[in-house]
Amino acid sequence: MVEILEMIAAGQTDFRTTPMPRHKLTKAQWEQAADDAARGHVSLLGLWATRGAVHMALMDPNSHAVGVFSLENRRKGFPSVARLHPPAQRLERSITDLFGMRAEGAEDSRPWLDHGAWKITTPLAKAAPREGDAPDYDFLPVIGDGLHQVPVGPVHAGIIEPGHFRFTAQGETVVRLEERLGYTHKGIDHLMRGASIARGAELAQRTSGDSTVAYGWAYAQAVEAALGVTPPPRAVWLRAIMAELERLANHLNDIGAICNDAAFALMLAQCGTLREQVMRAAHAVFGHRFMRDVIVPGGVARDIDSAGRGMLEGLVHDIARDFEPLVELYDNTPSLLARTVGAGILPVDLAAQFGAGGYIGRASGRDFDTRRDLPYAPYDKLVFKVPLRSDGDVNARIWIRIEETRQSLNLLGELLRSLPEGDVLVPVSPMKEQREGLGIVEGFRGDVLVWVALDARGRISRCHMRDPSWFQWPLLEAVIEDNIIADFPLCNKSFNCSYSGVDL
């Protein structure tokens, strides 16, 4: 175990500003790393492949040092990480679907992204035309008396993203939930390959609409680190303002939507008006409701003037004023608390094992926030509290969001006050050699990780974007077990995982 930790510590460079080195591992070391992750000595941040190689991003949970490790010359397969460390399972199945490399020794070798609808197989390796029909997807067997299955989705009654949920229930009690995702597969990995840096930024910001800014920033960080570019301070401040606006809008929406799933529509209506104010302010100041395409590698594409600054200050003031009565309303509605308290409990050990990010992890005792623990400008100069709870139920996830909303409002006020003057964009030019960079940003859902490899012409040879939901979706399956079917929508909304972000 010491080996991997030592390698992380030895190779430690500031990945925020310089290219990310990769440690090449032997097969035995790779297996050792997987074992370390399973034992909790290191946290798995990401697992992805390039042609003929697999890579892992690992973090020392104590010192928060990060390292990227590779196992190369692997055309056919690689030793399974999920065999020892289950959180890697869906990532591995995706690698097999996209690159054709098998996870050797994995318990679950069913396809994940490939639903049999593509005309080719293994699109990112040597793509081969599909022969015959793909076999039916085998859901995990459930054995017992009086069990019945309830298939839900991928098309739902409401306007939400598509995903299939297979419940096996005994009466109302859920015995097993199995998720099947991949319905919003867009081939982003493929589109990224060979794209220019600017095109890559556009693609990254279209990966998961509600996390546009987080993706844009993480991608920009990765590219800037790879090329050794430092964006000007004003650009960094504006990025943080946008990131906090995004967090604010999403948290407000989530708080209302969770209550609405307990049929308390009043909260959604009230939170909805607040969210709409944020979205309109974003549109007025940054030109787009989701602030799309404002962040570009090298800075931001759009500066704000004093009018925009005043508008945002007014927004922060209004929301701070109107939000607290809603918190009161939530806390003083016993019928609502009767639904959220004690519902959908995520145990602390599971949150730690899966490295669950965002409100899901922080509601279950995982004290981690990228902004504080893997600090990046401008958060390294700001003071804020990271809320933490250990009860892990729907109520806890709502309260983490409430606290983070308050923090975001404070941060926005601070960022607007201390906004430095100056340029907002520096040129980004290719380096005539291969470069790799890593970016990690705290989105509203959790840590968004982007790893970019650039070729000598400055084109993207591989870009891997790991949504926080990769490690959150499996936990939803665990949370609903032994719960009742009718409580699933509430638990699901309190998780609010991204479909698009993991379907890529």
Partner 1 sequence: MELIFNLLVQGLQMFLVVAIAPLVAGVTHRMRARLLRKKGASIWQPYRDLLRLMRKEVVLAENASWLFRAVPYLVFAATWVAAALIPTFATGLQFSWSADLIAIVALLGSARFFLALAGMDVGTPFGGLGSSREMMIAALAEPAMMLTVFSLALLAGSTQLSTVVEYLAGPGVGLRVSLGMALVALVIVALAENARIPVDNPSTHLELTMVHEAMVLEYSGRHLAMIELAAALKLVLYLSLIAALFVPFGIAAPGQGVGPHLLGLLYYLVKMLVGAVALATFELSIAKMRVFRIPELLGAALMLSLLGTLLLFVSRSL
Q: List contacts with partner 1 (CB under 8 A).
A: 148-152, 156-159, 171-172, 259, 261-266, 269-270, 273, 333, 335-336, 338-339, 343, 484-489
Tell me whether residue 115 or residue 156 sits nearer to partner 1 (CB atom). 156
Q: Of the two residues 264 and 354, which places its CB atom closer to partner 1 in the complex?
A: 264
Q: Smallest gap, in angstroms, from Cβ of residue 246 to partner 1?
A: 24
Number of residues assigned to the chain: 504
Helices 233-261 and 394-417, packing angle to 10 deg: 150
CA angle 268, 270, 273 (to 5 degrees): 100
* Long-range contacts formed by 90-97: CB under 8 A, 24+ apart: 90/470, 90/473, 90/474, 90/502, 91/46, 91/47, 91/48, 91/466, 91/470, 92/47, 94/504, 95/47, 95/48, 95/49, 95/54, 97/122
Nearest partner of 9 among 51, 67, 71, 82, judged by Cα: 67
Looking at the Cβ atoms of 226 and 262, the one nearer to partner 1 is 262
Q: Considering only the C-alpha atoms of the chain, give the largest distance between any 2 of them, rounded to a whole number of Å.
A: 70
Among candidate residues 212, 186, 471, the one with its CA nearest the CA of residue 346:
471
Helix (H) or strand (E) holding 9: helix 2-10
Q: What's the closest the beta carbon of residue 334 comes to partner 1, in angstroms?
A: 9
Provide the minimum distance between the beta carbon of 336 and partner 1 in the complex, in angstroms, as a whole number.
4
With respect to partner 1, which residue has the nearer C-beta, 261 or 442?
261
User: Which is closer to partner 1, CB of 109 or CB of 273?
Assistant: 273
Question: Using the 8-state DSSP alphabet, how is residue 20 labeled?
Answer: P
By beta-carbon proximity to partner 1, the closer residue of 157 and 383 is 157
The letter for the amino acid at 46 is G
Closest alpha carbon to 280 in 290, 293, 269:
290
**Least distance from C-beta 495 to partner 1, angstroms?**
15
How buried is 78 (Cβ within 10 angstroms: 0-12 exposed, 13-18 middle, 19+ buried)? Answer: buried
Alpha carbon 160 to its chain's center: 18
CB nearer to partner 1: pick between 73 and 332: 332
Classify residue 486 as exposed, middle or buried by CB count within 10 Å of its CB (0-12, 13-18, 19+): exposed
Q: Which amino acid type is present at position 319?
A: I
**Shortest Å, Cβ 319 to partner 1:** 16
Q: Least Å distance between CB 339 and partner 1? A: 6
Distance CA 290, CA 211 (A): 8
Q: Which is nearer to partner 1, 124 or 336 (CB)?
A: 336
Shortest reach from residue 208's CB to partner 1, in Å: 22
Task: Determine how β-strand 173-180 pairs with β-strand 164-170.
Answer: antiparallel
Q: Give the 3-state DSSP-derived string for 300-347, with helices as H, strands as E and coil as C.
A: ECCCCCHHHHHHHHHHHHHHHHHHHHHHHHHHCCHHHHHHHCCCCCCC
CB of 337 to partner 1, least distance (A): 9
**Contacts of 167-172 spanning 24+ positions with Cβ under 8 A:** 167/485, 167/488, 168/142, 169/485, 170/144, 170/146, 171/146, 172/484, 172/485, 172/486
Least distance in Å: CB of 489 to partner 1?
Answer: 4
CB-wise, 129 or 144, nearer to partner 1?
Answer: 144
User: Where would I find the beta strands (DSSP E) of 309-446?
Assistant: 435-442
Q: Between residues 221 and 260, which has the closer beta carbon with respect to partner 1?
A: 260
DSSP H helices in 167-305: 188-192, 197-204, 212-227, 233-261, 265-286
Q: How far is the CB of 153 from partner 1 (least distance, A)?
A: 9
**Residue with Cβ nearer partner 1 (259 or 424):** 259
Nearer to partner 1, 198 or 341 (CB): 341
Q: At its nearest, how many Å lie between partner 1 and the CB of residue 265?
A: 6
Q: Shortest distance, CB of residue 170 to partner 1, whole angstroms? A: 12
Question: What SS3 state is found at 474?
Answer: helix
Q: Cα separation of 304 and 114, whole Å?
A: 43
User: Do the bridges between strand 53-59 and strand 43-50 make them parallel or antiparallel, or are there none, so unpaired?
Assistant: antiparallel
